[in-house]
Structure 1
Amino acid sequence: MKHLSVIFILFSVCTASAQMQKHNPKDQLRSLNWDVIGSVKFELTDKNELLPIFTETIRRFENKEFGLTGYLIPIKSGQKQQKFLLATLPINQCYFCGQNGIPVMIMVEMENAVPYSEKPIQVRGILKLEEKDASYKPPITIKNAKLIY
Protein backbone atom coordinates (compact mmCIF):
# COMPACT_ATOMS: atom_id res chain seq x y z
CA MET A 1 0.00 0.00 0.00
CA LYS A 2 2.89 2.33 0.84
CA HIS A 3 4.33 1.85 -2.66
CA LEU A 4 1.00 2.64 -4.28
CA SER A 5 0.79 5.93 -2.38
CA VAL A 6 4.29 6.93 -3.56
CA ILE A 7 3.35 6.12 -7.16
CA PHE A 8 0.08 8.05 -6.80
CA ILE A 9 1.88 11.10 -5.39
CA LEU A 10 4.48 11.03 -8.17
CA PHE A 11 1.73 10.64 -10.77
CA SER A 12 -0.23 13.57 -9.31
CA VAL A 13 2.80 15.84 -9.17
CA CYS A 14 3.83 14.89 -12.70
CA THR A 15 0.34 15.48 -14.06
CA ALA A 16 0.10 18.90 -12.41
CA SER A 17 3.62 19.84 -13.52
CA ALA A 18 2.99 18.69 -17.09
CA GLN A 19 0.04 21.05 -17.37
CA MET A 20 2.21 23.98 -16.31
CA GLN A 21 5.38 23.32 -18.28
CA LYS A 22 6.08 21.90 -21.72
CA HIS A 23 8.42 18.97 -22.26
CA ASN A 24 12.02 19.82 -22.98
CA PRO A 25 14.17 16.92 -24.24
CA LYS A 26 17.27 19.10 -23.64
CA ASP A 27 16.74 18.61 -19.89
CA GLN A 28 17.74 14.95 -20.12
CA LEU A 29 21.13 14.37 -18.51
CA ARG A 30 23.65 12.11 -20.16
CA SER A 31 27.02 10.94 -18.85
CA LEU A 32 29.27 7.90 -18.81
CA ASN A 33 28.08 7.08 -15.28
CA TRP A 34 24.42 7.18 -16.38
CA ASP A 35 25.42 4.83 -19.22
CA VAL A 36 26.82 2.45 -16.59
CA ILE A 37 23.51 2.61 -14.69
CA GLY A 38 21.61 2.17 -17.97
CA SER A 39 23.50 -1.06 -18.71
CA VAL A 40 21.21 -2.88 -16.25
CA LYS A 41 18.51 -4.89 -17.98
CA PHE A 42 15.38 -6.41 -16.44
CA GLU A 43 13.69 -9.76 -16.73
CA LEU A 44 10.05 -10.49 -15.88
CA THR A 45 9.80 -13.88 -14.17
CA ASP A 46 6.92 -16.35 -14.12
CA LYS A 47 6.11 -15.04 -10.61
CA ASN A 48 5.66 -11.53 -12.06
CA GLU A 49 8.88 -10.31 -10.45
CA LEU A 50 10.99 -7.75 -12.28
CA LEU A 51 14.55 -8.89 -11.61
CA PRO A 52 17.61 -6.83 -12.55
CA ILE A 53 20.34 -8.35 -14.70
CA PHE A 54 23.59 -6.63 -13.76
CA THR A 55 26.24 -6.50 -16.45
CA GLU A 56 29.97 -6.67 -15.84
CA THR A 57 30.04 -2.95 -16.66
CA ILE A 58 28.12 -2.01 -13.51
CA ARG A 59 29.51 -4.80 -11.32
CA ARG A 60 32.96 -3.18 -11.62
CA PHE A 61 31.62 -0.26 -9.57
CA GLU A 62 29.73 -2.27 -6.93
CA ASN A 63 30.71 -1.36 -3.34
CA LYS A 64 32.95 1.44 -4.64
CA GLU A 65 32.64 5.19 -4.61
CA PHE A 66 30.45 6.40 -7.47
CA GLY A 67 29.39 9.90 -8.48
CA LEU A 68 26.28 10.88 -10.39
CA THR A 69 24.57 14.10 -11.47
CA GLY A 70 20.79 14.00 -11.73
CA TYR A 71 17.45 15.43 -10.75
CA LEU A 72 16.17 14.90 -7.21
CA ILE A 73 12.78 13.12 -7.21
CA PRO A 74 11.37 13.15 -3.65
CA ILE A 75 9.63 10.09 -2.26
CA LYS A 76 8.44 11.90 0.88
CA SER A 77 7.17 15.42 1.38
CA GLY A 78 9.41 18.05 2.89
CA GLN A 79 11.88 20.78 2.01
CA LYS A 80 14.85 18.59 2.94
CA GLN A 81 15.41 15.10 1.59
CA GLN A 82 17.66 12.34 2.91
CA LYS A 83 16.35 9.42 0.83
CA PHE A 84 15.14 10.09 -2.70
CA LEU A 85 15.28 8.98 -6.31
CA LEU A 86 17.81 10.47 -8.70
CA ALA A 87 16.76 10.60 -12.36
CA THR A 88 18.00 11.71 -15.75
CA LEU A 89 14.90 13.89 -16.26
CA PRO A 90 13.35 16.48 -13.93
CA ILE A 91 10.04 15.74 -12.26
CA ASN A 92 8.25 18.29 -14.47
CA GLN A 93 8.89 16.06 -17.50
CA CYS A 94 6.08 13.78 -16.28
CA TYR A 95 7.34 10.21 -16.62
CA PHE A 96 3.87 8.68 -16.61
CA CYS A 97 2.15 10.69 -19.35
CA GLY A 98 4.00 8.99 -22.20
CA GLN A 99 5.82 12.02 -23.58
CA ASN A 100 9.34 11.09 -22.56
CA GLY A 101 9.03 7.55 -21.26
CA ILE A 102 10.36 6.43 -17.90
CA PRO A 103 13.90 7.64 -17.27
CA VAL A 104 16.65 5.71 -15.55
CA MET A 105 16.31 6.22 -11.78
CA ILE A 106 18.27 5.08 -8.75
CA MET A 107 17.78 5.41 -4.99
CA VAL A 108 20.07 7.78 -3.09
CA GLU A 109 20.56 7.65 0.68
CA MET A 110 22.37 10.76 1.88
CA GLU A 111 24.51 11.04 5.01
CA ASN A 112 22.72 14.34 5.72
CA ALA A 113 19.43 15.72 4.41
CA VAL A 114 19.72 18.11 1.46
CA PRO A 115 17.32 20.85 0.37
CA TYR A 116 14.98 20.03 -2.52
CA SER A 117 16.08 21.54 -5.83
CA GLU A 118 14.63 21.51 -9.32
CA LYS A 119 18.14 21.92 -10.72
CA PRO A 120 20.48 18.96 -11.20
CA ILE A 121 22.53 17.93 -8.18
CA GLN A 122 25.69 15.87 -7.98
CA VAL A 123 26.12 13.19 -5.32
CA ARG A 124 28.93 10.80 -4.48
CA GLY A 125 28.67 7.67 -2.36
CA ILE A 126 28.97 3.88 -2.37
CA LEU A 127 27.18 2.06 -5.20
CA LYS A 128 25.09 -0.90 -4.00
CA LEU A 129 23.30 -3.46 -6.17
CA GLU A 130 20.39 -5.61 -5.00
CA GLU A 131 19.04 -8.57 -6.92
CA LYS A 132 15.47 -8.16 -5.68
CA ASP A 133 12.15 -7.43 -7.35
CA ALA A 134 12.56 -3.96 -8.89
CA SER A 135 8.78 -3.45 -8.83
CA TYR A 136 9.04 -2.48 -5.17
CA LYS A 137 12.43 -0.82 -4.82
CA PRO A 138 15.11 0.40 -7.23
CA PRO A 139 17.83 -2.25 -7.44
CA ILE A 140 20.60 0.37 -7.56
CA THR A 141 21.38 2.61 -4.59
CA ILE A 142 24.08 5.12 -3.77
CA LYS A 143 24.50 4.91 0.01
CA ASN A 144 26.25 7.24 2.44
CA ALA A 145 26.10 9.88 -0.27
CA LYS A 146 27.41 13.40 0.02
CA LEU A 147 26.23 16.41 -1.95
CA ILE A 148 28.99 17.62 -4.28
CA TYR A 149 26.95 20.53 -5.72
Structure 2
Amino acid sequence: MLKFVFLLTSLIVIISFSYHVRAQQNPTEIQHIQDHKPLMNKVWETFDMLMYKVTKENGKTIYTPHFPPPLAALDGKTVELQGYMIPMKSGFRHNSFMLSVLPIQQCMFCGQNGIPAMVEIILSNGKKERMSDRPITIKGKTVLNRRVKDRLEIWITDAVILNEAG
Protein backbone atom coordinates (compact mmCIF):
# COMPACT_ATOMS: atom_id res chain seq x y z
CA MET A 1 0.00 0.00 0.00
CA LEU A 2 2.84 2.38 0.87
CA LYS A 3 4.36 1.70 -2.55
CA PHE A 4 1.07 2.63 -4.25
CA VAL A 5 0.78 5.90 -2.28
CA PHE A 6 4.38 6.77 -3.18
CA LEU A 7 3.76 6.12 -6.89
CA LEU A 8 0.52 8.11 -6.85
CA THR A 9 2.20 11.03 -5.07
CA SER A 10 5.11 10.95 -7.54
CA LEU A 11 2.70 11.01 -10.46
CA ILE A 12 0.83 14.02 -9.04
CA VAL A 13 4.12 15.89 -8.52
CA ILE A 14 5.26 15.18 -12.09
CA ILE A 15 1.93 16.30 -13.59
CA SER A 16 1.92 19.45 -11.45
CA PHE A 17 5.49 20.27 -12.45
CA SER A 18 4.83 19.80 -16.18
CA TYR A 19 1.73 22.02 -15.94
CA HIS A 20 3.75 24.67 -14.08
CA VAL A 21 6.54 24.61 -16.71
CA ARG A 22 4.03 24.86 -19.58
CA ALA A 23 2.31 27.81 -17.88
CA GLN A 24 5.64 29.66 -17.80
CA GLN A 25 6.24 29.32 -21.56
CA ASN A 26 5.88 32.34 -23.79
CA PRO A 27 2.14 32.58 -24.68
CA THR A 28 2.98 33.82 -28.20
CA GLU A 29 5.16 30.76 -28.76
CA ILE A 30 2.42 28.42 -27.55
CA GLN A 31 -0.16 30.18 -29.75
CA HIS A 32 2.16 29.92 -32.79
CA ILE A 33 2.48 26.16 -32.30
CA GLN A 34 -1.27 25.74 -31.79
CA ASP A 35 -2.10 27.95 -34.80
CA HIS A 36 0.47 26.37 -37.11
CA LYS A 37 -0.86 25.10 -40.39
CA PRO A 38 1.43 23.56 -43.01
CA LEU A 39 2.40 26.11 -45.63
CA MET A 40 1.04 24.07 -48.52
CA ASN A 41 0.44 25.57 -51.95
CA LYS A 42 0.25 24.18 -55.51
CA VAL A 43 4.06 23.96 -55.77
CA TRP A 44 4.34 21.96 -52.53
CA GLU A 45 1.45 19.74 -53.67
CA THR A 46 3.30 19.07 -56.93
CA PHE A 47 6.57 18.37 -55.07
CA ASP A 48 4.58 15.88 -52.97
CA MET A 49 4.12 13.77 -56.15
CA LEU A 50 7.75 12.62 -55.88
CA MET A 51 7.89 8.83 -55.96
CA TYR A 52 10.61 6.19 -55.98
CA LYS A 53 11.15 3.21 -58.26
CA VAL A 54 12.37 0.31 -56.18
CA THR A 55 14.72 -2.21 -57.80
CA LYS A 56 17.11 -4.90 -56.59
CA GLU A 57 20.75 -4.94 -57.63
CA ASN A 58 23.18 -7.56 -56.28
CA GLY A 59 20.83 -8.16 -53.34
CA LYS A 60 20.65 -4.44 -52.48
CA THR A 61 17.45 -2.42 -52.64
CA ILE A 62 17.89 0.65 -54.86
CA TYR A 63 15.52 3.64 -54.64
CA THR A 64 15.54 5.82 -57.75
CA PRO A 65 13.55 9.08 -57.76
CA HIS A 66 10.63 9.16 -60.18
CA PHE A 67 9.14 12.51 -61.21
CA PRO A 68 5.57 12.19 -62.56
CA PRO A 69 4.72 14.53 -65.51
CA PRO A 70 3.30 17.45 -63.42
CA LEU A 71 6.45 17.43 -61.27
CA ALA A 72 8.78 16.95 -64.25
CA ALA A 73 7.15 20.02 -65.85
CA LEU A 74 8.52 22.18 -62.99
CA ASP A 75 12.15 21.27 -63.82
CA GLY A 76 13.92 24.52 -64.73
CA LYS A 77 10.89 26.67 -63.82
CA THR A 78 10.99 29.54 -61.32
CA VAL A 79 8.73 28.97 -58.33
CA GLU A 80 7.79 30.74 -55.09
CA LEU A 81 7.64 28.65 -51.97
CA GLN A 82 6.87 29.32 -48.32
CA GLY A 83 8.43 27.19 -45.63
CA TYR A 84 10.69 26.79 -42.64
CA MET A 85 14.49 26.80 -42.85
CA ILE A 86 16.13 23.54 -41.75
CA PRO A 87 19.95 23.67 -41.53
CA MET A 88 22.01 20.88 -43.11
CA LYS A 89 25.06 21.62 -40.96
CA SER A 90 25.85 23.61 -37.84
CA GLY A 91 26.31 27.37 -37.91
CA PHE A 92 24.33 30.60 -37.82
CA ARG A 93 24.50 31.64 -41.48
CA HIS A 94 24.00 29.38 -44.48
CA ASN A 95 24.07 29.54 -48.26
CA SER A 96 22.20 26.26 -48.54
CA PHE A 97 19.58 24.69 -46.31
CA MET A 98 16.43 22.62 -46.53
CA LEU A 99 12.94 24.10 -46.69
CA SER A 100 10.01 22.31 -45.07
CA VAL A 101 6.30 22.96 -44.66
CA LEU A 102 6.79 22.14 -40.98
CA PRO A 103 8.99 23.89 -38.42
CA ILE A 104 12.09 22.08 -37.20
CA GLN A 105 10.42 21.53 -33.80
CA GLN A 106 7.67 19.43 -35.39
CA CYS A 107 8.43 15.90 -36.48
CA MET A 108 7.59 15.48 -40.17
CA PHE A 109 6.71 11.81 -39.52
CA CYS A 110 4.11 12.68 -36.86
CA GLY A 111 0.59 13.71 -37.75
CA GLN A 112 -1.25 13.61 -41.04
CA ASN A 113 -0.25 12.33 -44.45
CA GLY A 114 0.43 14.80 -47.23
CA ILE A 115 3.63 16.29 -45.81
CA PRO A 116 5.93 16.62 -48.83
CA ALA A 117 9.63 15.90 -48.74
CA MET A 118 11.91 18.78 -47.91
CA VAL A 119 13.49 20.81 -50.70
CA GLU A 120 17.16 21.82 -50.87
CA ILE A 121 17.62 25.59 -51.23
CA ILE A 122 20.79 27.13 -52.70
CA LEU A 123 20.86 30.91 -52.36
CA SER A 124 22.04 33.05 -55.28
CA ASN A 125 25.51 34.65 -55.48
CA GLY A 126 26.90 32.66 -52.54
CA LYS A 127 24.86 34.84 -50.18
CA LYS A 128 24.52 33.54 -46.62
CA GLU A 129 21.43 34.10 -44.48
CA ARG A 130 20.88 33.70 -40.76
CA MET A 131 18.69 30.74 -39.82
CA SER A 132 15.19 31.67 -38.68
CA ASP A 133 12.51 29.68 -36.90
CA ARG A 134 9.81 31.75 -38.62
CA PRO A 135 8.44 30.84 -42.07
CA ILE A 136 10.07 32.49 -45.08
CA THR A 137 9.12 32.93 -48.73
CA ILE A 138 11.75 32.07 -51.32
CA LYS A 139 11.86 32.37 -55.09
CA GLY A 140 14.19 30.38 -57.33
CA LYS A 141 14.66 27.84 -60.11
CA THR A 142 13.51 24.24 -59.63
CA VAL A 143 16.06 21.51 -60.35
CA LEU A 144 15.06 17.85 -60.21
CA ASN A 145 18.03 15.82 -58.99
CA ARG A 146 18.16 12.53 -60.86
CA ARG A 147 21.80 11.61 -60.23
CA VAL A 148 23.43 12.97 -57.04
CA LYS A 149 22.76 10.33 -54.39
CA ASP A 150 23.82 12.26 -51.27
CA ARG A 151 21.56 15.28 -51.86
CA LEU A 152 17.82 15.86 -51.88
CA GLU A 153 15.76 15.05 -54.97
CA ILE A 154 14.36 18.58 -55.45
CA TRP A 155 16.50 21.73 -55.36
CA ILE A 156 15.68 25.40 -55.66
CA THR A 157 18.77 27.15 -57.05
CA ASP A 158 19.57 30.84 -57.52
CA ALA A 159 17.11 31.38 -54.68
CA VAL A 160 16.35 34.66 -52.98
CA ILE A 161 14.47 35.13 -49.73
CA LEU A 162 11.59 37.48 -50.46
CA ASN A 163 10.50 37.96 -46.84
CA GLU A 164 9.81 36.39 -43.51
CA ALA A 165 6.27 35.14 -43.79
CA GLY A 166 5.51 35.08 -40.09
Smaller-chain TM-score range?
A: 0.7 to 0.9
Aligned length in residues: 127
Aligned equivalent of 1:73, options 63, 77, 86: 86
Deviations 1:7-33 (A, max 9, x none): xxxxxxxxxxxxx99975834221111
Query: Matches of 2:54 and 2:34 in 1, distance apart?
Result: 31
Letter in 1 for 2:110: Q
Q: What residue in structure 2 maps to residue 137 of structure 1?
A: 151
Q: How does 1:106-121 map to 2 (within 5 A)?
A: 106-111=119-124, 112-121=127-136
Q: Where do 5+ consecutive residues of structure 2 fail to align? A: 1-24
Decide which moves more: 115-124 or 99-108.
99-108
Task: Return the index of the structure with the highest Cα Rg.
Answer: 2
Query: Matches of 1:35 and 1:130 in 2, distance apart?
Result: 18
What is the CA distance between 1:55 and its match in structure 2? 1.2
- % same residue: 25
RMSD of Structure 2 on Structure 1 (CA): 2.5
Letter in 2 for 1:127: T
TM-score, structure 2 length as denominator?
Answer: 0.67
Higher RCO, Cα 8 Å, sep 6+: 1
TM-score, structure 1 length as denominator?
Answer: 0.74
Query: Matches of 1:57 and 1:90 in 2, distance apart?
Result: 26
Query: Matches of 2:39 and 2:157 in 1, distance apart?
Result: 21
Contact 1:49/1:133, CA 8 A, preserved across alignment: no
Contact 2:140/2:158, CA 8 A, preserved across alignment: yes
Aligned equivalent of 1:40, options 30, 34, 50: 50
Aligned equivalent of 1:123, options 111, 131, 138: 138
